[in-house]
Amino acid sequence: MAIAFRRIRKVFDDGTVALDDFDLGFENGEFIVFLGPSGSGKSTACRILAGLETPSKGAVEVDGNDITSLAPRQRGMSMVFQHYALYPHKTVYENIAYPLRVRGENEGEIERAVREVADMLGIADLFRRRPKQLSGGEAQRVAVARALVWKPEICLMDEPLSNLDALLRLQTRAELKRIHRELQKTFVFVTHDQEEAMSLGTRIAVLDRGRLIQFDTPQAIYHRPATRFVAEFIGRPAMNTIDGTIEAGNFRAGELTVPMPDPMPGPAVLGIRPEQIELVDQPGPDVVTMTLDIKEVVEPDTLLTLKRGEVSVVVRTLRQVSGLQTGDDVHVRLPASALHTFASQDGRRLS
């Protein structure tokens, strides 16, 4: 089953433009992540796919059929929300079984399907409890189980892990990955957490202010971000971006000069990831000497904030730098292969 958003625009009654010219297509069986800051339109896109919102313009297609005016129930999709609502008076078992009961499945089939999904999520020993006897993490898993029990072709999840504490979030994330592999259905997952997106997505749609900025594999988004916004949004600590000018084969920003192999003269933004800046022992022709401003040890890494004039960069290194102190000279190399350039005006990738 192929899913397509065709040039969707969504304007709410108060005039807020939540999505604009949102055009995106993907194949059956993918794990698609909608990633972006709060308010970028991720939930709106997800709700439009589910049929919970109607686009102001454009269409949603499944296998080439326009489903824009189909009711949610007719779409064969299930959805898990951040604020999932379990039926408080039903047991865990009955909560999970509910979608199958609505469809009139027989008791034997219901039991088999409920067990299977509960085993996948490690919640089979909770069957007799009621929602108020569950921890937040357990309740979230029950909500996921209820969404998956009838094996919908498409499962939509809107920030489903955001109520979980950090460790449980990591565990549930790994489980979702495994379940996706086992079920081989399409998952659409909304998050503002770039690490979660990188870990889960077969492809990630990055949104900013209602627009689709980039849609690609996690690797491509990390290695070839389409804009400065994507570059800064993906990866922690964020990619260093430096405003300057390219002239005579160099990028210059204040006292910083970096050779540019493929120069396009004019104002530009230089980008380099903190983990790709190399610490070297000696000054040299392609080496920049900077001053250590802040050192943060985040085992096993160390983060160094270095300055030269007005320019400041963060370096992430695994090297032992216990001898370094604020004010010391630090020699770094910015390898040409690790440099990104973006247009100053609109942030578009230049090379």
Q: Which residues bind ligand ADP (CB under 6 A)?
A: 12, 14, 16, 18, 36, 38-44
The least distance separating ligand ADP from the CB of residue 12, rounded to whole angstroms, comes to 3
CA–CA–CA angle 264, 311, 263 (5° rounding): 10
Which two structure tokens, joined as six digits, stand for 248?
A: 């005579």
CB closer to ligand ADP, 44 vs 240: 44
Q: Which is nearer to ligand ADP, 40 or 186 (CB)?
A: 40
| Strands 278-280 and 3-11, sheet pairing | unpaired
Min dist CB 156 to ligand ADP, Å, is 12
- CB 19, min distance to ligand ADP, A: 7
CB of 35 to ligand ADP, least distance (A): 9
Beta strands 329-333 and 278-280: pairing type? Answer: antiparallel
Do 84 and 160 touch, CB atoms closer than 8 A?
A: yes
Nearer to ligand ADP, 48 or 100 (CB): 48
* Cα dihedral 324→327→329→334 (10° resolution): 90
Quick one: 16 or 345, whose CB is closer to ligand ADP? Answer: 16
Q: What is the nearest approach in angstroms of ligand ADP to the Cβ of residue 10?
A: 8
Q: How far apart are CA 219 and CA 20, in angstroms?
A: 26
Nearest to residue 77, comparing CAs of 144, 179, 151, 155?
155
Handedness of CA 31, 37, 43, 44 (dihedral sign): negative
> Which of 97, 207 has the CB closer to ligand ADP?
207
